[in-house]
Amino acid sequence: MEEVTFFPQGDHAVAIVFNDKINRETHSQIRHFSSYLIRNSFDGLVEVVPGYTSVTVYYDPIKMKSVSPYEEVVTILKKQLSKQNERNEFPSNIVTIPVCYGGKYGPDLSYVAAYHNLSEQKVIEIHTHTEYLVYMIGFAPGFPYLGGMSQKIATPRKDTPKVNIPAGSIGIGGEQTGIYPLDSPGGWQLIGQTPIKLFDQHQAQPSLLKAGDIVRFVQITPEKFEHWERGDIHVDKGN
């Protein structure tokens, strides 16, 4: 493992930066350390938040024993890093996301196709023939940052963002693809929509996806989209 660096985030958090490479190896290091730290918590630990290349550790400075809570927490984290020798494999949960592409569900699919001189169906084929890794959840509750999209359909964001994008919309923004879990503003190119909820605050686990999950998109018809919305079909979530 490359030498990590530590940075203060205000007076109650520390960012542990593993490196500047967004890839599966870095993601694996972050998952392992986050899991290890949660299992081996210290007094004052509030929350562990994994990111693309870093882990942010939130702590309660009042519960720390020294006059410099930040330095005390960094010392603890360095010890935890040195003790983390086991690299057990974490099984990835595979989640299939049904998507109705194009038309009113994906009004920008035609733009993405024209931008790359492809047919709309070819864009769909490329988008659905990839497994995407959930690097982290952020931006909005339940919003997955997905890695693995083909460069063949990478498309710049809109010059002027939309004021409101419907929940479940599937978009492309530069080299990334993602799913809007809630109605919100946004500037990604919308190519489809899923009828399933990615975030439900009334559930014990509000976010459908979590870091480390594998996402597969599958194309569905407008008729099946309506069936899903009515609750006649349920999301396929398994191993």
Residue 236 has pLDDT above 80, yes or no: no
CATH topology of domain 94-238: Cyclophilin (2.40.100)
Delimit the domains of the chain by residue range: 5-83, 94-238
Can you give the pTM of this predicted structure? Answer: 0.77
Rounded Cα distance between 179 and 37, Å, is 29
Chain centroid, CA 121 distance in Å: 26
Cβ(97)–Cβ(233) below 8 Å: no
What percentage of the chain's residues is helix, strand, coil (to nearest 5)? 25, 30, 45
- pLDDT band at 110; cut points 50, 70, 90: very high
DSSP 3-state of 189: strand
What would the pLDDT profile of 182-234 be if each residue is shown by its tens digit? 999 999 999 999 999 999 888 888 889 988 899 999 999 999 999 888 776 65
- The reply to whether domains 5-83 and 94-238 share a CATH topology is no
Round to whole Å and give the CA distance between 141 and 182. Answer: 8
Two structure tokens written together for 156:
């710049």
Class for the domain spanning 5-83? alpha beta
As a whole number of angstroms, the distance between CA 57 and CA 25 comes to: 20
Residues 144 and 137: beta-carbon distance below 8 Å: yes
